[in-house]
Structure 1
Amino acid sequence: MTGAASLLKDWSLAWRFAIREMRGGLSGFRIFILCILLGTAAIAGVNSVAASMSEALEGRGREILAGDIRFELKQREANTAERAYLDSLGEVAVASNMRSMVRSEDKTRQTLSELKAVDGLYPLYGKFVADPDRPLAELLAAREGVYGALAQPMLLDRLGSKVGDRVLIGDMTVEIRGRIVSEPDQLSDGFALAPRLLIAREALVKSGLMQTGSLVDNNYRIKLAEGSKPNGQIRREAQAKFPEAGWAIRGSGNAAPALSNNIERFSEFLTLVGLAALAAGGVGVANAVTAYLDSKRGVIACFKSLGAPGRLIVMVYMIQILLIAVLAIIGGLAVGAAITPVAGYFLQDYMPVPEGLTLYPRALGLAALFGLLITLAFSVLPLGRSRLIRATELFRSQSETGWRRVPVRYYIAAGLVFLAVGALAVLSADQRFLAFVFVASTAGAFLVLRLVAYGVAALARRVRKVQSATLRLAIGNIHRPGALTASVILSLGLGLTLLSALALIEGNLRGSLAGAMAEKAPNFFFVDIQSRDIDGFKSVLDKAAPGGEVRSVPMLRGRILAFNGEDVQKRNVPQEARWVLQGDRGITYSETVPENSRVEEGAWWDKDYSGEPLVSFASEEGHQLGLKIGDTVTVNVLGRNITAKIANFRAVEWRSMSINFVMVFSPNTFKGAPHAWLATLTDHAATPAVEQGVMRSVTNAYPGITSIRVKDALDIASDLVGQLATAVRAASSIALVVSVLVLSGAIAAGNRARIHDAVVLKTLGARRSMLMRAYFYEYALLGLSASVFALAAASVASWYVVTEIMELPFRFLPGAALWTLAVALIVTAGTGFLGTWRVLGQKAAPVLREL
C-alpha cells in the first residue's frame, strides 16, 4: 500500500472513531466553545458593522452628497466661465457654509453656529426634514422683509430662544420658523463645531457676512444630465480646463471620505482587539484540549494496547477538536451577523445603515479563518503530547509523566500556525504597521506573561516556611505540579493589560484637554477679521479684557496641489501626514519666525526680502512628506496657483493651541492679495462672566467676526474622546470576559487533582473554612501578580502612545491602578470560590477508594 493510500485509510478510520466517540456529547468543551465563539463573534460583528456602514455610505452616496458630484470652492464663488461649465453638466444647486455668531434680538445673548445657506434647488437628492414639516422654500422665504431660518434645538437652547423668535446674523434679522430634524447631506459636510442654522442663500448674500477673506465654503452640487460622463472623467476634464480653479471635486461614490476612513480605522483597531480576545481564549482552548485528552487516558490506552499508531490517535482527536471548533465558529458568526442590525438600530440617527439582516462574506470569512487558526495554534502542542505516551503511563491516575515530551515537529507546526495568524492580521489591515505592532505586542505579552508565571511559581517555591498553615498551603498550591499559576496569569494578564492601557490613555488625553492644554491655550480664537477692522477690534478687546494678550496674523486658505511639480494625489503619502493634503489649509505670511516655533533646518528670509516666493514648512510634517530644503510647493489660493521654494523647516509647538501654521510664506508672496486676519485672546485670569462679556462686545461691535471659545471646543473634544473610549472599552471587555471563561475552565480542569487533595486534607483534620481561606489566598496572590504585570505593561504601552504618538505629557493615574487591582482580585477570587465550592463538598469515601 502506498504512503498516500495508507494516510487516506488512517484518516477514514480516524473519522469513524472520532464521530463514534463524539456521540457521548461535548462534555468538557463548554469553555472551549465559548472562548472561540466570543472571539469569532467580536471580529465578525465589528467587520460586519463596518462593512454595512461603508456599503450604506456608498449606496446612498447621492443622498449624502445631495448631488451626483460636488465642486467646492474656498473663500470665493465660481467665476463666469467656471459657472457656465458647471451649468453645462446638469442642474446646479448652490450652498454656502461658514461659522458665524448668532445673537438674540436684544443683543444680550450670542453663540457660535454652523451657518448653512441654500438655494431653492436644495436638496437635489434626499429629503430635508423640518419641524413643522413644510416646504423648505416656504420656511426660508422673506416675509415682510424678514427671511426665515431653521435651527437645531441645541442652538435655541444656547440662545434661550424658541420657534417664532427673531435672531441676528451679522446685522440682519431673521425669524426662527422651525427646528432642523435631519439633513440628507449632513455627513458630507463634515465635523460640526457648533449647532446648525439654515437660511436662504439670498439672505446670506444680503447679510454682509460674505466679505473678502471670509472663511466661506461654496458648494456646487450637480444633478448630472442623463447620459453624462462618469464622475472620474468629469473631474479630469474640469481640472484640465480650469487648472487654477483650486476646487475640490467629490463624487457620490466618495460622499463622506473622512467618515469612511474613520470607520475603516476604527474597525481595524477593534478587529485587533477582538483578535487579542481570541488569542486570550486560545489559552482556554489549550486548557480544554489538555483536560479533554487527560480524561481520555483510558480510551487512548485502549488504542495503544490494540496497536494504534500515534499518528492515528492525533488524527482522531484533531478531527474532534476541529469539528467542535467549527460548531463554535458557526455560533460566533451567527452572533456576529446578528450584531449588525442591532448596531444599526442604535446608529440610525447618526449615520446611514442598511435595514434588516445582511450578511457580509468577507467579514464572516475573516472571522472564521481567525477562529480556525487560533484553534489549531493552541491545540497542536496538547495533541502532540499524546502521541508518544506509553499505555502504562496513561493508566496512572494522577501522573503526568511523559506529557511534556513533545516532538519538535509539533513545535514547528504550532509556530507556523501562529505566524499565519499574525500574517493574516497584518495583511488584512490597511494600517499594516499598526497591525504588526499590535500583533508583536500581543505575542510579546504572552511570552512575558509565561515568564511572569514561571517567576511567580519560582518565588513561591523559595518562600520560607510561614507560620500560618492556611497561607503555607496556598503558597504550595502556586508552585505544585499542575498548578493554576500559568493559566490564571496568562488568561487574566492580557485582558487586564488591554483595559488598563485604554484607561490610562483616555485619562491622560482627557486630562490634557481639561488641564495642560486648557491652561496653555488662548481663551478665544477670532476669525474673519477684515483688515479695515483690525485696529478697532483690538480696541474693543482692550476694553473688554484689559489684562488679556492679543495676537493677530494675516490668514488665507490654500490647497496644496503639487510638490516639485508632481501632483500630490499621485504621491504615496504616509498615513500620519495625509491630513496636510486633505482639503484647504490655513496659511499666513510673516517677516519674522512665528511664536511657538523655531527654525530647525535652513534659514529665515530677510525682512525686506523681495525675491522668488519662499515658504517655511513644519519640520515633522515636511519630513513625513519626504520634502527637503529647495523643493517647491504649489498651493492654490483664491483661484491662483502659487509655487514657492522651501527655505527652511520649523519645529512647531502644536500643543500650545496658539496660532500655528504648517506653511508660512515670505511676505512678498501675497503682496496685494485680499485677506482677513486671525487673532487670539489669552487671559487666564478671565472668569466665565468676563468671557461672555468679551463675546458680547466683539459680536455687537463687529457682527461679521466669528468668536470661538476654546474651552467649548475642548469640551467637545473631551466628549468625543469619552464616547470613543466607551465604545473601545465595551469591545475590549470581551477580552476580560474571555479571561474569566479561561480561568473558569482552568479551575474546572484542575478540580480532579484538588478533589483528591481536599479529601486527604479533610481526612487528616482540615476544616472546610481552612481550605476555603487557602484557596482565597492562592487566588488573591495570583490575581495580585496578574494585576502587577498588567499595570506595568499598561503603563509602558500607554506612556509610549501618549508621549510618542500623541505627543502629550504622561501622568500615572492611581485610580486606574486601584481599578485594575480590584478587578483582578474580584475576578480571580470570585471565580476561584465558585469553581472550588463543589470540590469542598465531595464525600471522602468514594475518592479514598480510588487512591
Structure 2
Amino acid sequence: MHGTLSSPARKPLQSAFPPLILRLALRELRAGLKGFGIFLACIALGVAAIAGVSSLSRSLTEGISKEGRRILGGDMAFSLLQREANEAEQIYLASKGMVASVATMRAMVIAGDKGSALVELKAVDPSYPTAGTLETDPAMTPADLFAVRDGAYGAAVDTALLARLDLKVGDRIKVGGATIDLRASLVSEPDKIANGIGFGPRLLVSQEALRATGLVQPGSLVRWTYRVTVPPAQSTEAGLAAIEADASRALPEAGWDVRNRLNADPRFARNIERFTQFLTLVGLTALLVGGVGVANAVRGFIDRKRASIATLKSLGAPGGQVVALYLVQVLLIAAVGILIGLVVGGALPFVVTGLFGHLLPIPIEPTLAGTELGIALLYGILTALVFALMPLGRAHDIPVSGLFRDQIEPERRWPRRRYLLALSLALAALVGLAVIAAYDRRIALMFVGAAAASFVLLRLVAVGIMALARRLPRPHRTAPRLALANIHRPGALTPSLVLSLGLGITLLVTLALIDSNLTRQLRQMLPEHAPSFFFLDIPNAQADAFEGFIRQQAPEAAMERVPMMRGRLVTLRGVPVSEIKANEEVSWVLDGDRGITYAKTPPEGSQLMAGSWWPEDYRGKPLVSFDAKIADGLGLKLGDEVTVNVLGRNITATIANLRQVEWRSLGINFVMVFSPNTFAGAPHTHLATVTFPNGSDAATDARLLRSAALTYPMVTSVRVKDALEAVNDVVSQLVTAIRGASGIALLASLLVLAGALAAGHRARLYDAVVLKTLGATRGRLVLAYALEYGFLGAATAIFGLLAGSLAAYLITTRVMNLSFVPDLSGALLASLLAVLVSVCLGLLGTWRILSQKPALYLRDL
C-alpha cells in the first residue's frame, strides 16, 4: 500500500520542480509570517546598517567630488610651507590659468584687558572667494569687509572667539603689529574643510593685513596655497593630471603639495573610507549576530512544520525537495527583510540631508548608491544562507517517525555533504565579500578571524557548561535540580542562549573598555605627562631672549627648546614617495610636510636602537636619525638615503641611526633629526615647550599667555589643554557615532536573545504542561527557570568579560597604538545589565507559558 501511494506522489513532485516548490512555498506563506518577526528584524537591521553607512559615505565622497572646485577654491591647488612661491613658480602657475592665493597660519590675538587667544589666521587676496560664497553676519562684500579704515584692517571672525574673549562685532583686537577691526561674524566659508581641523577659531583677514602683522618671517609656519582655475578645455581629469605631471617636470624642487578639484581633500576622503569601514564592520557584526537569530528562527520554523514535513515525506516527497521547499520560504522571507533594510539604508543620506544638511560643515550629495546597496544585498542573502542551511539540512534524512519522535528527543546528526558544501560556499562567499569590499583588508581579515573565533569559542563554552551541569551532583531541592537538568538536557536552550548572550556581552565589554581607555588617554594621562604650553615660530634671532623671558616669567617651570623647520619627503632609497606603498600605520609620514630639526646630541626621551650618533663637530655628508618603528614600516635601514624638500631645496641625507620615540608624551619629538651641518645658514624658527612640574591653574596660564603675546607677538602660544579639548571634541563625535552604530549590533543581540527564548517556547510549553499536571506550582517553576537563566548568564558573562577585554586590548594597542588599562568597572556594569536583561526576557516568556491551561494541550501530547 505504501509503495502504491508513494510512487505517484513522488513523480509529480519531481517533474514539477521547481514551479511546484515555489507554488507550495507561496501557498504556505499565505498564513503569514508568524514566528519570523525576529528573523525579519535581524536581517533588516543588519542590512540597513551596512547600506546606510556605505550610502552615506558615498554621498559624502560624491559631495566632495561635485563641490571640489568650491572646496579647493579652484581647479588645482599648489601649497608651499614656510615660503611664498618665487617669481619663476608664479609665472609658471599664471601660464596655466587664473591664480588666487591664500595664506594660513596660527597666531595670537590680544583683546586688551579681555585677554588673548590662539586663532587660525587665514589671509586672502582681493579675488577671494573664486568659487562659492562667503557668508557673514552682517552680510558684507569682501571689499567692504577687508577695507582699511582709520588704520585698522577689517576681518570676519568665528563666533567662538567672540564668546571666548567676551567680544562683539565692532570691537578691535591686535594681531602682531596690526590692529584688526572685527566687522562681521563668519557664517560660512566655501573652502572651510580644505584647511583641516584647527586648534583655534577662524580669523579671516586680507593678505595686506597679514603682512602688516609682521608675523611672516623667514622660517615662519605659514602655508601659502595658490589656487589655479584652468581653462574649461583642460579641466578634465586627464587635463588636470597632465598639468600636475608637467609641474613636477618643470619645477622638480618646488616641493609643493598638489591637489585638484576631483580629489579636493584626499586625507578627508581617506578618513571617510576608514571610518566607513569601521562602521560597516560594526554593521556586519550586527548582521552576523542577527544570523544567530536567523538560525533560531529557522530552527523554530522547522519545529512548527514537523507535521507538514512528515506528511510530505509520507506521500513520497524526497528529502531534497522538502529542504528546497522550506529554503525557498526562508529566502523569500529574508528577501522581505533585506528589502526593508535596503529601503531604510538607501533613504538615510536623503533623511540626513533633509534634517541636518544645513548644519553639516561638509558638502553631501544624497544619492542612491547602487554598488553599495548591491553589496548590502549580497551580505543579507549570504548571511541568511549561512545560518539557515544547517537547521534546514537536518530535515533531509530524518524519517517520518523520527520527525515525530524529535518532539521529545531531538536527533543529533550533521546534514548531508551537499548541504555542508553549500554552507561552505556561502560562508566563503561571505568572508570573501567582507575582505574584498574592505578599505583595509588586514583589518577585515582580523574581523573575520575574531568573528570565527567568537563563534567557535562560544560553542565550546556552551558544550563545557552542559558537560559541567551533567557532572555536578544533583541538588535535593526541586527548583535547583530542575534548573540544572534544563541546562544539559536534549534540546536545551544552552547553545542558543550562550551564543546570543555571549556575542552581546563581548561587544558591550569591548566598547566599554575602548571608550574608557580613550577617555583616560585624553583626559588623564596626557595632561599629566604633557607640557603645559607649546611656543611656535620663535624667531631664530630672538630664541635666546625668549627663553630668558619665559624663565623669568615662570621660574618654576621646565623649558625645552629646539630648532624647527618643515620638510616634505621626496624620495626613499631613490624611489619617489608617490610610488611607495606604505602600511596604514606609517603612511602619514609621506603625506604632506613634517616637522624636522637638527641636533648635536640625541634628543631627550629618545633611545638609540641601531647605529651611532654623529660627533658634535660633524662636518661631513648630511646624516639623519629616523624613528625606528616608522623606518621599519617604510622598509628603511641604516645606510639608506632619504631626500627631503626644505624651503624649495631637495636635500639628501643618509640614515646614520634609528631611535625609539615616545610620541604619547606630547613632548618635542621628530620623525627625522638631522646632523647640524645639513641646514647651515637656512632660515628657521624654534619650537619650545614649557612644563609646570605640579601643573598650573587657569590664572597662571592666562597671565603667561598674555605676557608672551604682548612681548613677543610673532610667537604663537598653544595651551596644551585647549588643544586636547579640540582633539577630544573630534574624538567624542567619532565615539558617539561608533556608539550609535554599535547600538544597532547590541539591539540585534537583544533580538537574537529574545529569538532564542522564543525558539524554545514549544519545549518549555511541553515541560510546563507536564510539570503542572504533576503538581508543580508556578512559583517553583519560575524559580527554576530564573536559576537556569541566571547561571547561564553568569557563565556567559565571564566569557564575555575575558573575550571583550582581549578584543579591546588588541584594538587599543595594535590598531589605535595606545596604552591599555583594564578598567572593568564599566564592563562589569554592562555585563550585569546584560545578564539581568536575559533573565528578565527569559522569565517574561516563561510567565506567558506558565499561564496556559494544561487541559488545552494534554490531548496533543
Q: What TM-score, normalized by structure 1, do the two folds share?
A: 0.97
Checking the alignment, whether the CA contact within 8 Å between 2:558 and 2:693 is kept in structure 1 is: no
**How do 1:302-701 residues align onto structure 2 when only pairs under 5 Å count?**
302-344=311-353, 345-346=355-356, 348-354=358-364, 358-396=367-405, 398-402=407-411, 404-685=413-694, 686-701=696-711
For 1:395-435, what per-residue CA distance to the aligned partner results, in whole angstroms no more than 9, with x for missing partners? 34723443534223422321222121111100111200000
SS of alignment partner, residue 95 of structure 1: strand
For 1:221-270, what per-residue CA distance to the aligned partner results, in whole angstroms no more than 9, with x for missing partners? 12223433611111111111111111111100111111111110111111
> What is aligned with 2:844?
834
> What is aligned with 1:142?
148
For 1:632-691, what per-residue CA distance to the aligned partner results, in whole angstroms no more than 9, with x for missing partners? 111110111111111111111112211000011111110011110011111132322222
> What is aligned with 1:718?
728
**Which residue identity does 1:209 align to in structure 2?**
L
1:347–1:522: structure 2 CA closer, same or farther, 3 Å change rule? farther
Checking the alignment, whether the CA contact within 8 Å between 1:140 and 1:200 is kept in structure 2 is: yes
> What is aligned with 1:778?
788
- Partner Cα distance (1:21, 1:496) in 2: 37
Unaligned runs of 5+ in 2: 1-11
Checking the alignment, whether the CA contact within 8 Å between 1:523 and 1:684 is kept in structure 2 is: no
**How do 1:805-816 residues align onto structure 2 when only pairs under 5 Å count?**
805-816=815-826
1:467–1:661: structure 2 CA closer, same or farther, 3 Å change rule? same
- Partner Cα distance (2:31, 2:429) in 1: 33
Q: 1:729 aligns with which of 715, 724, 739?
A: 739
- Shift of residue 213, structure 1, vs aligned partner: 0.9
- Shift of residue 547, structure 1, vs aligned partner: 0.8
1:307–1:219: structure 2 CA closer, same or farther, 3 Å change rule? same
SS of alignment partner, residue 148 of structure 2: coil
- Partner Cα distance (2:835, 2:171) in 1: 59
Are 1:67 and 2:78 an aligned pair?
Answer: no
Checking the alignment, whether the CA contact within 8 Å between 1:57 and 1:255 is kept in structure 2 is: yes
- Shift of residue 466, structure 1, vs aligned partner: 3.0
Q: Tell me how many residue pairs correspond in the alignment.
A: 846
- Partner Cα distance (1:507, 1:348) in 2: 33
> What is aligned with 2:173?
167
> What is aligned with 1:241?
250
> What is aligned with 2:6?
none
> What is aligned with 1:741?
751
Are 1:27 and 2:31 an aligned pair?
Answer: no
Checking the alignment, whether the CA contact within 8 Å between 1:502 and 1:725 is kept in structure 2 is: no
- Partner Cα distance (1:179, 1:667) in 2: 46
Question: CA RMSD, aligned part only?
Answer: 1.8
> What is aligned with 2:134?
128
> What is aligned with 2:275?
266
**Which residue identity does 1:109 align to in structure 2?**
G
- Partner Cα distance (1:536, 1:311) in 2: 89
**Which residue identity does 1:12 align to in structure 2?**
P
> What is aligned with 1:703?
713
Checking the alignment, whether the CA contact within 8 Å between 1:105 and 1:173 is kept in structure 2 is: no
Checking the alignment, whether the CA contact within 8 Å between 1:589 and 1:665 is kept in structure 2 is: yes
> What is aligned with 2:118?
112
> What is aligned with 1:40?
47
Unaligned runs of 5+ in 1: none
SS of alignment partner, residue 187 of structure 1: helix
Are 1:86 and 2:96 an aligned pair?
Answer: no
- Shift of residue 9, structure 1, vs aligned partner: 4.3
> What is aligned with 2:9?
none
- Partner Cα distance (1:741, 1:808) in 2: 34
- Partner Cα distance (1:795, 1:814) in 2: 9
- Partner Cα distance (1:338, 1:208) in 2: 52
Checking the alignment, whether the CA contact within 8 Å between 1:35 and 1:738 is kept in structure 2 is: yes
- Partner Cα distance (1:217, 1:101) in 2: 17
- Partner Cα distance (1:672, 1:296) in 2: 87
**Which residue identity does 1:774 align to in structure 2?**
A
- Partner Cα distance (2:109, 2:360) in 1: 25
> What is aligned with 1:788?
798
- Partner Cα distance (1:626, 1:839) in 2: 65
For 1:573-623, what per-residue CA distance to the aligned partner results, in whole angstroms no more than 9, with x for missing partners? 212111001110000011111111122111211111111111111111011
Checking the alignment, whether the CA contact within 8 Å between 1:94 and 1:221 is kept in structure 2 is: yes
For 1:146-168, what per-residue CA distance to the aligned partner results, in whole angstroms no more than 9, with x for missing partners? 11111111111111111111111
Q: What TM-score, normalized by structure 2, do the two folds share?
A: 0.96
Which one is further off, 47-56 or 460-469? 460-469
Are 1:819 and 2:826 an aligned pair?
Answer: no
> What is aligned with 2:217?
211
- Partner Cα distance (2:75, 2:414) in 1: 67
For 1:472-497, what per-residue CA distance to the aligned partner results, in whole angstroms no more than 9, with x for missing partners? 32222222222221111111211221
- Shift of residue 349, structure 1, vs aligned partner: 2.4
Which one is further off, 680-689 or 131-140? 680-689
- Partner Cα distance (2:548, 2:612) in 1: 35
Q: 1:54 aligns with which of 61, 72, 85?
A: 61
Which one is further off, 133-142 or 202-211? 133-142
- Shift of residue 761, structure 1, vs aligned partner: 2.0
- Shift of residue 45, structure 1, vs aligned partner: 0.6
- Partner Cα distance (2:575, 2:152) in 1: 50
- Shift of residue 383, structure 1, vs aligned partner: 1.4
For 1:703-747, what per-residue CA distance to the aligned partner results, in whole angstroms no more than 9, with x for missing partners? 110011111112222232222112111111112211111122222
- Shift of residue 343, structure 1, vs aligned partner: 2.8
- Partner Cα distance (2:327, 2:854) in 1: 36
- Partner Cα distance (1:394, 1:535) in 2: 91
**Which residue identity does 2:180 align to in structure 1?**
V
SS of alignment partner, residue 616 of structure 1: strand
SS of alignment partner, residue 188 of structure 1: helix
- Partner Cα distance (1:468, 1:331) in 2: 49
Checking the alignment, whether the CA contact within 8 Å between 1:277 and 1:495 is kept in structure 2 is: no
For 1:19-55, what per-residue CA distance to the aligned partner results, in whole angstroms no more than 9, with x for missing partners? 2222222222211111111111111111000011011
For 1:73-109, what per-residue CA distance to the aligned partner results, in whole angstroms no more than 9, with x for missing partners? 1111111111111122222111100000111034x50
- Partner Cα distance (1:589, 1:192) in 2: 27
SS of alignment partner, residue 792 of structure 1: helix
Checking the alignment, whether the CA contact within 8 Å between 2:571 and 2:643 is kept in structure 1 is: yes
Which one is further off, 685-694 or 325-334? 685-694
Are 1:297 and 2:306 an aligned pair?
Answer: yes
- Partner Cα distance (2:231, 2:818) in 1: 51
- Shift of residue 499, structure 1, vs aligned partner: 2.7
- Partner Cα distance (2:70, 2:386) in 1: 47
For 1:505-525, what per-residue CA distance to the aligned partner results, in whole angstroms no more than 9, with x for missing partners? 121122022222221111111
Checking the alignment, whether the CA contact within 8 Å between 2:193 and 2:362 is kept in structure 1 is: no
- Partner Cα distance (1:347, 1:719) in 2: 20
1:348–1:453: structure 2 CA closer, same or farther, 3 Å change rule? farther
For 1:173-231, what per-residue CA distance to the aligned partner results, in whole angstroms no more than 9, with x for missing partners? 11111111111111111111111111111110111010111100011112223433611
- Shift of residue 818, structure 1, vs aligned partner: 2.6
SS of alignment partner, residue 859 of structure 2: helix
For 1:117-136, what per-residue CA distance to the aligned partner results, in whole angstroms no more than 9, with x for missing partners? 11111111111111111112
- Partner Cα distance (1:744, 1:495) in 2: 12
SS of alignment partner, residue 156 of structure 2: strand
- Partner Cα distance (1:801, 1:651) in 2: 22
Checking the alignment, whether the CA contact within 8 Å between 1:544 and 1:693 is kept in structure 2 is: no
